[in-house]
């Protein structure tokens, strides 16, 4: 049996057109974002910082749960238990 082989130009991997452009602006963008995050508590009001902190905490919890249930297909009660322990500890420490 003889197999037809693909020409060499069809086997090469093509880089995306914006590949070099994206890699060149990514480190400055990350640095600017980190500077904004560090300076935010000094510029914004306390309530806004509190709301942003809660939103980030919820986002981290949801991303962890999505990773476990969405990509792996597992059901977990451990996430809610750890979240409850953290909330209880925060409430005790704020008293």
Q: What is the pLDDT of residues 12-51, one digit of tens each?
A: 666 666 666 667 778 889 999 999 989 988 998 989 888 9
Domain range holding 84? 8-94
Residue 1 lies in a domain: no
Whether 52 contacts 36, CB under 8 Å: no
pLDDT more than 90, % of the chain: 18
How many whole angstroms separate alpha carbon 92 and alpha carbon 95? 5
Residue 67 pLDDT exceeds 70: yes
The yes-or-no verdict on residue 73 having pLDDT over 90 is no
pLDDT, greater one: 35 or 53: 35
Number of domains in the chain: 1
Distance between CA atoms of residues 63 and 14, nearest Å: 32
Examine residue 66 and state whether it is found in any structural domain, yes or no: yes
∠62-73-84 over CA atoms, to 5°?
Answer: 35
In a domain, 44, yes or no: yes
Residue 3 lies in a domain: no
């Amino acid at each position: 049996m003889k197999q037809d082989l693909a020409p060499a130009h069809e086997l090469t991997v093509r880089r995306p057109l914006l590949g070099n452009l994206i890699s060149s602006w990514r480190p400055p963008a990350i640095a600017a974002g980190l500077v904004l995050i560090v300076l935010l508590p000094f510029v914004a009001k306390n309530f806004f910082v509190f709301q942003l902190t809660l939103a980030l905490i919820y986002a981290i919890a949801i991303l962890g749960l999505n990773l476990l249930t969405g990509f792996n297909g597992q059901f977990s009660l451990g996430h809610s238990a750890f979240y409850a322990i953290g909330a209880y500890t925060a409430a005790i420490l704020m008293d």
